[in-house]
Amino acid sequence: MNLYDSNGPAQFWGLASGPAPGHWEAALRPAMEAAGLRLPAGDIAELLELVLGEGQFGPDHWRLSPAKRAYYRIKPALPRLVIPLLRRVYQRSRAPGLEWPVEPRYARFVWEAAARAMAAAGLARCAYRRLWPGNARFAFVLTHDIESAAGQAAVRRLADIDERFGFRAVFNFVLESYPLDHGLIAELRARGFEIGAHGLRHDGRLFDSRELFMRRAQRINAWLDRLGAVGFRSPLTLRHPEWMQVLNIEYDLSFFDTDPFEPIPGGVMSVWPFFMGRFVELPYTLVQDSTLTGFLRAKDPQVWLRKLDFLERHRGLALMAVHPDYLLRDGTERVYAEFLDAVRSRGGYWHALPREVARWWRDRARAGSANGDDAGEIRLVNGSIEAT
């Protein structure tokens, strides 16, 4: 995959009558250094392979250690109180390198690149493709992964919470771990929710080998067609961007901007959607509920709200993963409802289902440079840009 050609700063901004290719080329390395991205890139195009492709973590990044594989094999049989203790043990060896919960460097790079390219072109202002409809300050997206039959039984309760605050979400079902409730699926669709896939089984084995993945991918694709689903999130956010190209999906949800707490820690550093081969990647940018209230034992949504401040400043994607399986644990339901209430009161967002965001991002890229109602303006002020 060539991540740079589809996602580089020039493609991201879509400036009309703006900097020429030479101005962008001159701007990128200084912008990278100003943003604090100290990556061993030779050709600047390698930068996005290291960042969006997580290449900075090495060629074995996608492979679970034997200890983690063993843990996820026995996890379903473990007492609930033991799981946080074991997580704390393996977190001691997590991959270093990214800040959390806010990793600002890639966002700074994208904005700094536009500022330097405009300065090189002698432009004080320029039209750009707005990131979200109606010039919203951020996109707000809810996703729910149903890990077990018990989680499926709690789906209506979680859907009711979303509806109470005027929101809708995608519910991602594990396709062959528990009998799917097709009546529930039909009801969710009728209520305005989306249906997605959360892997074939929730056993941590999807990427054990290429052969196993390809066999399961064939069944996943058949289920996607049967359910009329266009989105996917891998169980445990295990992932392999090249293998996943065989999935018949419009978008994927298996990556994140920064998360040291997942089985494969790291992150793509981006707080916006991006093109990952044949599909649009929608990284989650707000820490998962199981980590926030279960592992970190937070009693309020302040971590989510502080991250939302950063996402709003950079017109980012606020995408979160909340599980019906954990809704009644550790105060999760109360913390989640408080957060939704705070978002609704804040305003300024574009709330959409994941499939709508993916299609918007694809249509936005096809439109090329800014034009019509979707055009905004960025101004160069004291060496920095301001977007309107």
Q: pLDDT tens-digit profile of 181-220?
A: 999 999 999 999 999 999 999 999 999 999 999 999 999 9
Q: What is the arithmetic mean of pLDDT over 155-173?
A: 98
CB atoms within 10 A of CB 63: 14
Radius of gyration of the chain (CA): 21
Q: How many helices (H) and strands (E) does the chain have?
A: 15, 12
pLDDT at 335 over 90: yes
Nearest CA to 355 out of 366, 363, 347 is that of: 363
Q: What is the arithmetic mean of pLDDT over 331-356?
A: 98
CB atoms within 10 A of CB 309: 10
Supply the mean pLDDT for the chain.
92
pLDDT at 370: 72
pLDDT at 189: 98
pLDDT at 263 over 70: yes
Nearest CA to 270 out of 109, 63, 43, 114 is that of: 109
C-alpha span between 387 and 315 (Å, rounded): 9
Token output for 225? 């067609």
Question: For the domain that residue 94 is a member of, what is the CATH number?
Answer: 3.20.20.370
Number of domain units in the chain: 1
Between 96-100, 185-189, 340-344, the lowest mean confidence (pLDDT) is in 96-100
C-alpha span between 136 and 382 (Å, rounded): 25
Question: Is residue 128 packed enough to be buried (19+ CB in 10 Å), middle (13-18) or exposed (0-12)?
Answer: buried
pLDDT at 325 over 90: yes
pLDDT at 352 over 90: yes
Instruction: Provide the residue count of the chain.
Output: 388
Instruction: Give residues with Cβ within 8 angstroms of 31, minimum separation 6.
Output: 9, 109, 112, 113, 115, 116
pTM exceeds 0.85, yes or no: yes
pLDDT at 286: 98
C-alpha span between 151 and 26 (Å, rounded): 52
For the chain, first and last CA: distance in Å? 33
pLDDT at 388 over 60: yes
Residue 74 parent element (H or E): helix 66-74
CA angle (317, 364, 20) in 5-degree steps: 105
pLDDT at 266: 95
CA angle (87, 93, 96) in 5-degree steps: 115
Token output for 156? 């209506």
C-alpha span between 54 and 259 (Å, rounded): 12
pLDDT at 112 over 80: yes
pLDDT, tens digit, for every residue of 272-320? 999 999 999 999 999 999 999 998 999 999 999 999 999 999 999 999 9
15, amino acid identity: L
> Which residue segment(s) compose the domain that 327 sits in?
3-387
